[in-house]
Chains A and B, each alone.
Chain A
Amino acid sequence: MSSTSDLRTRTAPPKTAFRLSMLLYDQRYRSITIQIVFLFALMLGIAWLVDNTINNLRALGKDFSFAFLSAPAGYDINQRPIEYDSQMTHGRAALVGLLNTAILAVMACALATVLGVIAGVLRLSNNWIVARLMTVYVELFRNIPTLVWIIIFGAIMTESMPAPSAFRGDTPTASMLFNDSVAVTNRGVYVPAIQFSNDLGNLPLGVVAPSINWLLVLVAIIVGIYAHKVILKNATAVQNATGIRPKTWWKSLGVLFGPVALLFIFFGAHLEYPELRGFNFADGIHMRNSLIAMWLGLGIYTGAFVAENVRSGILAISRGQTEAAFALGMQPGKTMRLVILPQALRVIIPPLISQYLNITKNTSLGLAVGYMDLRSTLGGISINQTGRELEGMLLMMLIYLAVSLSISGAMNVYNNRVKLKER
């Protein structure tokens, strides 16, 4: 029963005939009895719930079917990472929502990591004022609900930024930033987009059709990173053989950025600037208020937690490690890079990933500012227009569960890789 039951001293069980009471009193059978009773109760409970659901559905004259996913959605979504219009299906709308969730989650994770690392390190700084300021940031954001922050950032965007009409006229009251390339309005932020004059078209992959140009750029980046790793490996081999590490930074720079730059030149990449046309700015990339409010709200809020993780991770490395590194004659920079950080990361990364998990789950608050994530499309409008609460909620929960489990699965793989190999 308990994890230590095998430690108990047991005399050899007497060879008696099996009696019914042994199911309860004999260690060997009791756990089986309990499990069977538990299984029985659980099945009974589940059967009761399912039976109720079937009865209730029948009473309402509903069936249980996911056919609504292939019916036309009828509503529009403002932020569309893939092609979508109101004549496409609810399933497509759900996919758009899922992609929006993913975009938001990635952006917020990046922001939270950057802010968290900066704030976590600076909180340990011996600069009095910076350390205090970071403490204020961490405590302020940690102790106020993220929903309040999201709504506050939404309010800042809508209430404090100029309307597009303020950019119009002979004497506009607002102007674009950075040499007319970025417009901050109360409908969102418009930034320049990268456009290719030699467009190779899209690659039809069934559900999605990504741009071939961008796919090639992505391939170039991946190849670059791989080549960079090879170069580093060779450098280490040379170092091991000769004791001198060859300078490789220019090679790395070349393989990392060279192919991408070549592709950009070849494709005729240029920036497309946002421009005031009609009611709104057109062209460029439109980051809507809802996206910005969610991004800042989630990113800055979670950043405060990440800062605490980073701080405690660095503090967890015992002082002796630094001293030992110094004793070996290492410089402070190398000490940090080769001794402190690899150990601190082992402490920092698991809670960091669980913060990523929190961000992913918190993207479901998008409705508060009208961000069209999975919750707002599949779990909101689709459910409402079709009346399929049960199916829609079930599907949505399963999707979130799958995402969460794959993130925590990745965490476990990482944990096992960096685990201290104790002997």
Chain B
Amino acid sequence: MSDTHSNTVSYVRDTMLDQQEPPVTERGVIKWLRENLFSGWLNSVLTIASLGVIWFIIIEIGPWLLNTVWNAESLRECRAILDGTSGACFAVIKDRWHQLLFGFYPPEHYWRPVLAMVLMLVALAPILFSEVPRKMLYFSVLFPFIGYHLLWGGSVWLPISVLLGFVVGYVAFRATAKLSSLVSVIAAVAGTFLWWVFLAGPFDAAMYSVAPIGLEYVRSDAFGGFLISIVIGVSGISLSLPFGILLALGRQSDMIFLKSVCVIFIEFIRGVPLITLLFTASLLLNYFLPPGTSFDLILRVIIMVTLFASAYMAEVIRGGLAALPKGQYEAADALGLDYWKAQRLIVMPQALKIAIPGIVNTFIGLFKDTTLVVFIGLLDPIGLSNAIRADTDWNGIYWELFIFIGALFFIFCFGMSRYSMYLERKLKTDHR
């Protein structure tokens, strides 16, 4: 057959043809362009419009950004250097970056907030990343006290005596653990408070007179810039966690009265703007406290922000609790654990883990909301930008400050939102 064939046909190709290049519209850049940018008339219009927008932004902002002055003492000098051409004057950032970051914190002590920040990251590591050794959690628990002492300074015995309050509480918890878990919880709380109210102050004073150790005291009004945003944001979110847990449990509780109080609290806080709560902190809190009590504005703001955040936190944790399979509760009951033990050993560890992305998102929101403290006279980055603009040297500068502030917020929040997305992916176990 094949012989006849080879004889009858005058020409037979005996090698394979080389693979042809695809047509020009179906390969390389052009194919990509066709598929991704110009696949239909609508897409083409959108592409051209987008290119127009990008072109406009580059033309408008590009020369201004490229022609940047970094070295000048004042806006006048900056304008003299630019000599009429359009250009950014980032000299203001070079001149005042330390104020935007630290406020009026004494420059010789800048290492303290920086160290506190580094230690905070270390303390957060075991909470945020499960690869980090669990032992590090002990450091995380200690960090609030270390951080407080680094930032404010003063007697080293003050944070230690506050810490001892928890130790007292723990001892009371252990001592009464045999009676009933409810009694031991009450004993622990009462022990801690009694220590704080009656003994913490004298202990601090006594120890300080014996061994006056401590960093130099820095007043709260020296705090400003991003330092204040981070201090308020981080302390607000970490203090609100325990309150949020209690509120979430209260809201799920069967006790009708307890439940309704929690619901009213959560709905009230979520229903009013944060700024009214901040004004309450600055204008009204003194009405509600015994005559003559006055404490620092930052502390008052932290208290209000904590209340605010705990309502949102409660909702996030409620979500975590709801996401937990019912079998877990039943299993805890089957093991004969009582309510608190079940919460502590079975429910909370899992619910909190599920809730971490939500907690991080709450934190991003809260961190951005710390800018509102400018309305009550605290010098956060926006407040400082006003102060810098009030200075005759930099009167009239605008964009450079806002670009700097915006960029720092962006880096912070973007980083955190990426982390929360990473976590969501990691926690997602359903493969849809």
Contact = CB atoms under 8 A, between A and B. Distances in A.
In their complex, do chains A and B touch, with some C-beta pair under 8 Å?
yes
B271 A30 contact: no
A55 interface: yes
Interface in B378-429: 382, 398-399, 402, 405-406, 409-410, 412-414, 417
A397 B374 contact: no
Interface in A142-178: 142-148, 151-152, 155, 159
Interface stretch (A2-10, A194-202, A256-264, A292-300): A2-10
Given A2-B342, A144-B409, A390 B287 contact: yes
A420 interface: no
Contact of B291 (A35, A42, A56): A56
Given A2-B329, A34-B258, A144-B413, 9 more contacts: A24-B183, A56-B286, A126-B35, A126-B36, A126-B39, A133-B50, A148-B371, A152-B402, A389-B283
A38 interface: yes
Contact of B279 (A49, A56, A379): A379
12 contacts: A24-B182, A35-B257, A52-B291, A59-B291, A126-B36, A127-B46, A129-B36, A130-B46, A148-B371, A375-B273, A379-B276, A400-B271
Contacts of B215: none
A390 B288 CA distance: 10
A396 B276 contact: yes
A177 to B, nearest CB: 17
Interface of B: 35-37, 39, 43, 46-47, 50-51, 53-54, 180, 182-183, 252-258, 261, 267-268, 270-276, 279-280, 283-284, 286-291, 326, 329-330, 333, 339, 342, 364, 368-369, 371-372, 374-375, 382, 398-399, 402, 405-406, 409-410, 412-414, 417, 432
B432 A318 contact: yes
B369 A145 contact: yes
A146 B364 CA distance: 12
A2 B333 contact: yes
B333 A57 contact: no
A53 interface: yes
A4 B330 contact: yes
Contacts of B374: 147, 368
Interface string A10-54: 000000000000001100001100110011001000000100110
B271 A127 contact: no
Contacts of B182: 24, 30, 34
Nearest to A316: B432
A405 interface: yes
B271 A52 contact: no
B371 A147 contact: yes
Nearest to B343: A2
Given A42-B261, A375-B275, A400-B276, A57 B287 contact: yes
Contacts of B270: 404
Given A142-B417, A144-B413, A155 B254 contact: no
Interface in A375-401: 375, 379, 389-390, 393, 396-397, 400-401
Contacts of A8: 333
A408 B375 CA distance: 27
Contacts of B409: 143-145, 148
Contact of B273 (A25, A130, A361, A405): A361
Nearest to B408: A144
B383 to A, nearest CB: 11
A404 B371 CA distance: 22
A364 B273 contact: yes
B318 to A, nearest CB: 12
What 8 A-B pairs are tightest by C-beta distance, nearest first? A404-B271, A143-B413, A145-B368, A128-B36, A361-B273, A364-B273, A401-B271, A145-B371
Contacts of A125: 43, 46
Contact of B47 (A52, A53, A130, A404): A130
Nearest to B385: A151
A122 interface: yes
A265 interface: no
A4 B326 contact: yes
A4 B399 CA distance: 58
A336 to B, nearest CB: 14
Contacts of A401: 268, 271-272
A52 B272 CA distance: 24
Contact of B398 (A42, A53, A146, A159): A159
Given A126-B36, A127-B36, A127-B47, A364 B180 contact: no
Interface string A401-412: 100110010000
Nearest to A36: B257
Nearest to A56: B287
Contacts of B50: 129-130, 133
Contacts of A390: 284, 287
Among the interface residues A56, A127, A140, which one has the most CB atoms of the partner chain B within 10 A?
A127
Given A52-B288, A57-B287, A365 B275 contact: yes
A155 B398 contact: yes
Contact of B402 (A34, A151, A362, A405): A151
A103 to B, nearest CB: 17
Given A133-B53, A144-B406, A5 B254 contact: yes
A143 B417 contact: yes
Interface in A67-105: none
A206 to B, nearest CB: 28
Contacts of A323: none
Contact of A3 (B254, B257, B272, B399): B254
A147 B372 contact: yes
B37 A1 contact: no
Contact of B375 (A1, A31, A367): A367
A139 interface: yes
Given A148-B405, A364-B273, A2 B47 contact: no
Given A4-B329, A52-B287, A393-B284, A35 B255 contact: yes
Among the interface residues A52, A143, A145, which one has the most CB atoms of the partner chain B within 10 A?
A145
A2 B413 contact: no
Given A126-B36, A133-B54, A405 B276 contact: no
A127 B43 contact: yes
Contacts of A389: 283-284, 287
Contacts of B271: 400-401, 404-405, 408
Contacts of A122: 46
Contacts of B258: 34-35, 38
B345 to A, nearest CB: 13
Given A34-B258, A148-B382, A2 B406 contact: no
